[in-house]
Chain A
Amino acid sequence: MAHAATHHEGTNYLNHERGLWSWLTTLDHKRIGILYFITVFFFFFIGGIFALLIRTELFKTGVTVMGPETYNQVFTYHGAVMVFLVIIPGIPAFLGNFFLPIQIGAKDVAFPRLNLMSWYCLILGAVFAVSSLFVGGADTGWTFYTPYSISLKPGVVLMVVGAFIAGFSSILTGLNFIATVHKLRAPGMTMNRIPLFIWALYSTSIIQILATPVLAITLLLIAAENIFQIGFFDPALGGDPVLFQHFFWFYSHPAVYIMILPAFGVISELIAAFSRKTIFGYTAIAYSSLAIAAVSFFVWGHHMFVSGQSEVAGVLFSVLTMLVGVPTAIKLFNWIATLYKASINLASPMLFALGFLFLFTIGGVTGIFLATTALDVHLHDTYFVVAHFHYVMVGGTLMALVGGLYYWFPKMFGRMVNETLGRVSFFFIFAGFNVTFFPQFVLGAKGMPRRYFDYLPEFEHLNQISTIGSYMIGIGFVVVFIAVIHALLKGEKAGDNPWGAKTLEWTTSSPPPHENFLKTPIVTAGPYEYR
């Protein structure tokens, strides 16, 4: 009897089944989350190599390590890999998959088979995208602007088809999450008791379902125009190139919120847990996610102030974009207010959360510059824009991703991440990030256009600082990798609730059992009841 009980306690989702095949055919949301973990970090490594190649080439004027044609491909693959294969699936499909069902007290997502299929969609899409490298590659930038992308290059077609297929991973995951949140909450887990990470994923899912199909259609039109010469976008065939931009940004602007909303969710969890304090303005944070999701569909034209769209459209899109700033500011102030009269533990996940607040504030206020028509005319397509969106995507989303990884790692693998390694990685990523991207604001304000293989001599110093910073970020992520490997092999054993947090995932064992809870939890209070 005693032996049987011990055996039962030692069983978790990791050793419930064994062998590679059991992983490739798993329907367990936690294992699928781990598959995404490996996939996303693998592609982050690839995209990161491309990033370092870009920065190395820009270290000095003229040819440093490659020619302009190679450079154009390198920044295209950096953008496409990071956007479609890292940042979009990063938090929702990895951390979301693992923790969404557990945080609402469910055994799994609503459609486990669809969940596995989503992962295969991402892999298949990635295979297509990467295979384009072997047929001459693509050099369109991740935005695929027409008519340049109607170049009859097979690499472009493969890349577009890859992004199309990967899009279905996003759509199906969103569908799954919405169904799960609505139908599988544990008894007592009302909508105003779900953690803010769930609210963020829920808002993200709405955007994924509504916006991604538009991208899919647009990418199909490009593929059709390339293969069959049907004139949708190229005026030489009777099409309209600006129409493409409308279609593309109708998806890709909401997609920016697909990338950042889940990060907001992670930050809410981290700040509450490491402050041991109920979150300030739960309702405001939850509804501001929905508000951002809603407004995000009406702002796409702010990417097109100088595209030839009408001035009236420019002004309307400018004022609508300003509206996004309000719910975003609300979140920021709520997080700061949560720190008031708290009990703050500066463990490495919290350092990443505080680093997020610092960097995201810069990313946010520079967004106001770009939303202002007269300023954007000058700043559009310069390094100012590059700096702005890296502050949001990297300073925001990636900081939250690493913070979330360190926070939930003990739950996922039953072992703690070494605190020293965690802090060292934070130092290099945070400092390196500012050294890399802050000078780019100045470069952009001075007029250096983006996607430039070479630049005026007067821009060289700032580019050199930026390149040195990028190597610091590189070192930081190597340390993250070492920290993860070290934790897996030699990490200190974690208890069920090492941080003393209140959400449901910390009530089950670390790592969780096959169906998350031995007994379905009954929920009687909100997610952050620290009294």
Chain B
Amino acid sequence: MIWWPSVASAQPTTFMPPVATAIAGQYNGLYGFLLAASFISFVGVVAAMIYFVVKYRRRSENDKTAYITHNHALEFMWSFIPFVLFMFVFSWGWIIYSRMRTFPEDALEVHVVAKKWDWRFIYKNGKEVTSSVDANNKRVPPTMVVPLGRPVKLIMASERQVPSTPLSEAPTDRAVIHSFYVPAFRVKQDVVPGRYTALWFQADQPGEYWVFCAEYCGTSHFDMTAKIKVVSVDEFENWLASEGAGELPLAELGRQVYAQKACIGCHTLDGRPSVGPTWKGLWGRKVQTDKGEFVADEDYIRESILEPNAKKVKGFENAVMPPYTGTITEDEIRAVIEFIKTLK
């Protein structure tokens, strides 16, 4: 599609945002095709309308009009051709959509936390990126740095503004739905309280790109922005290791939580069953429970910590684990998940 910008570009054009990923180029190809098809159909309809209106304008009150009730061949044509066109566009969209939703195995994983009205990015080495305030008390959006040409997967959660205050004391401070939207990458995913959602991208064009919150979330919804800075892999590695890198990698924090919150009493790390099932090799495995088979992913582990009785692993139905709701923070759960991911 030479006539439509599907080549990578860090700058917006008159009609489109920057094209910073391969997906964005594919998006532009489909968008351009549909725009052309729509334009041709629209011009056809309006031209026919105007032509008939001019040609068959009423000359006198006694005009005779044709008596045409229907025409099966014509009606079949104008039902069938749109149908074929719609199915074609649907299929093309499906192909790109499935690429958007198929996560590469080797992606760099970054945790994203949304709250009213800010984004926080947590890298696996413990480095955090948050917003700041400038001299005029104006919010400076956080800038997430990612490596050029490498897939990045975001694991996103929505949290309360002050998670440590009980809901009964701050009833209006609720986690609400946000949506992580990067126009230059043509990706968007709602961030839903009570579960993890994910999206991925691979930026092929160095530059700085806007992140917007696309799901209305209240007073400062419009100001809930962030930036993604795409830099070379070397530059990224340097950045990740410097500028106040986290003291403690997430998995290490998870190991500490494992000991401090008494997980260690019932869950082994070496594959032996104890009071509860072992954590070794748990990540990504299919787990047989009393409610059916589930893949041990982020949501499964989070639920098993907060509400252990929701799904009980086969063979451990009689084991009793206290629910951790209220005694473990979301940051600690994230760390435990990262810890379990390392126990191959």
Q: Which residues of A contact B (CB under 8 A)?
A: 68-69, 72, 139, 141, 145, 147-148, 150-153, 234-236, 240-242, 275-278, 280-284, 306-308, 311, 314-315, 318-319, 322-323, 325-326, 329-330, 332-334, 336-337, 339-346, 354, 357-358, 361-362, 365-366, 368-369, 371-375, 377-378, 380-382, 442, 445-447, 449-456, 458, 500, 530-531
Contact A447 B181 (CB under 8 A): yes
Contact A68 B78 (CB under 8 A): no
User: Could you pull out 7 A-B pairs where Cβ atoms are within 8 angstroms?
Assistant: A72-B216, A72-B219, A147-B174, A281-B70, A330-B78, A342-B65, A372-B30
Q: How far is the CA of A150 from the CA of B100 in the complex (A)?
A: 32
Contact B172 A344 (CB under 8 A): no
Contact A148 B41 (CB under 8 A): no
Top 9 nearest A-B pairs (CB, nearest first) are A447-B183, A235-B194, A343-B63, A374-B96, A372-B93, A339-B52, A341-B66, A373-B97, A365-B38
A360 to chain B, nearest CB (A): 10
Q: How far is the CA of A358 from the CA of B175 in the complex (A)?
A: 44
Q: How far is the CA of A237 from the CA of B94 in the complex (A)?
A: 36
B24 to chain A, nearest CB (A): 8
* B75-110 near A? 1/0 per residue, CB < 8 Å: 100110011001101101111111011000000000
- Chain A residues near B188 (CB, 8 Å)? 306, 377-378, 380-381
Contact B69 A446 (CB under 8 A): no
Is B179 positioned at the interface, with any CB of A under 8 Å from its CB? yes
Q: How far is the CA of A235 from the CA of B174 in the complex (A)?
A: 10
Q: Which residue of A lies closest to B183 (CB)?
A: A447
Is B176 positioned at the interface, with any CB of A under 8 Å from its CB? yes
Is B287 positioned at the interface, with any CB of A under 8 Å from its CB? no
Contact A336 B45 (CB under 8 A): yes
Is B340 positioned at the interface, with any CB of A under 8 Å from its CB? no
- Chain B residues near A241 (CB, 8 Å)? 177, 192-194
Q: How far is the CA of A323 from the CA of B31 in the complex (A)?
A: 20
Q: Which residue of A lies closest to B213 (CB)?
A: A449
In the complex with contacts A336-B45, A342-B52, A446-B12 CB distance below 8 A: yes
Query: Which of A236, A341, A366, A445 contacts B175 (CB under 8 A)?
Result: A236
Contact B174 A343 (CB under 8 A): no
CB neighbors of A among B29-49 (8 A) = 30-31, 34, 38, 41-42, 45-46, 48-49
Q: Which residue of B lies closest to A377 (CB)?
A: B188
Q: How far is the CA of A69 from the CA of B222 in the complex (A)?
A: 11
Contact A377 B187 (CB under 8 A): yes
- Chain A residues near B334 (CB, 8 Å)? none
Contact B100 A374 (CB under 8 A): yes
Q: How far is the CA of A374 from the CA of B31 in the complex (A)?
A: 9
In the complex with contacts A242-B192, A365-B42, A453-B222, A341-B56 CB distance below 8 A: yes
CB neighbors of A among B243-291 (8 A) = none
- Not counting A280-B71, A342-B52, A458-B12, a sample of 18 additional A-B residue pairs whose C-beta atoms are within 8 angstroms of each other reads A68-B219, A139-B218, A141-B216, A235-B175, A325-B86, A326-B79, A326-B83, A330-B79, A339-B53, A358-B46, A368-B86, A369-B34, A375-B31, A375-B93, A377-B100, A381-B188, A447-B183, A453-B221
Contact B174 A151 (CB under 8 A): yes
In the complex with contacts A276-B58, A365-B42, A308-B190 CB distance below 8 A: yes
DSSP class of B's interface residues: helix, strand, loop or mixed? mixed
Q: Which residue of B lies closest to A362 (CB)?
A: B42
Contact A449 B181 (CB under 8 A): yes
Q: How far is the CA of A344 from the CA of B57 in the complex (A)?
A: 5
Q: How far is the CA of A278 from the CA of B66 in the complex (A)?
A: 8
Q: Which residue of B lies closest to A310 (CB)?
A: B101
Q: Choose among B42, B48, B90, B92 the residue with the greatest number of A CB atoms under 10 Å from its CB.
A: B90
Is B130 positioned at the interface, with any CB of A under 8 Å from its CB? no
- Chain A residues near B38 (CB, 8 Å)? 365-366, 368-369
In the complex with contacts A72-B218, A326-B83, A333-B78, A340-B66 CB distance below 8 A: yes
Contact B97 A308 (CB under 8 A): no
A343 to chain B, nearest CB (A): 3
Contact A361 B42 (CB under 8 A): yes
B45 to chain A, nearest CB (A): 5
Q: Which residue of B lies closest to A442 (CB)?
A: B15
In the complex with contacts A361-B45, A372-B89, A454-B222 CB distance below 8 A: yes
Is B8 positioned at the interface, with any CB of A under 8 Å from its CB? no
- Chain A residues near B98 (CB, 8 Å)? 311
Q: Which residue of B lies closest to A239 (CB)?
A: B194
A332 to chain B, nearest CB (A): 7
Q: How far is the CA of A377 from the CA of B97 in the complex (A)?
A: 8
Query: Which of B52, B90, B192 contacts A307 (CB under 8 A)?
Result: B192
Contact A68 B66 (CB under 8 A): no
Q: Choose among A68, A366, A374 the residue with the greatest number of B CB atoms under 10 Å from its CB.
A: A374
Q: How far is the CA of A236 from the CA of B174 in the complex (A)?
A: 8
Q: Which residue of A lies closest to B69 (CB)?
A: A278
Contact B190 A358 (CB under 8 A): no
Q: Which residue of A lies closest to B184 (CB)?
A: A447
* B202-239 near A? 1/0 per residue, CB < 8 Å: 00000000101111111111110000000000000000
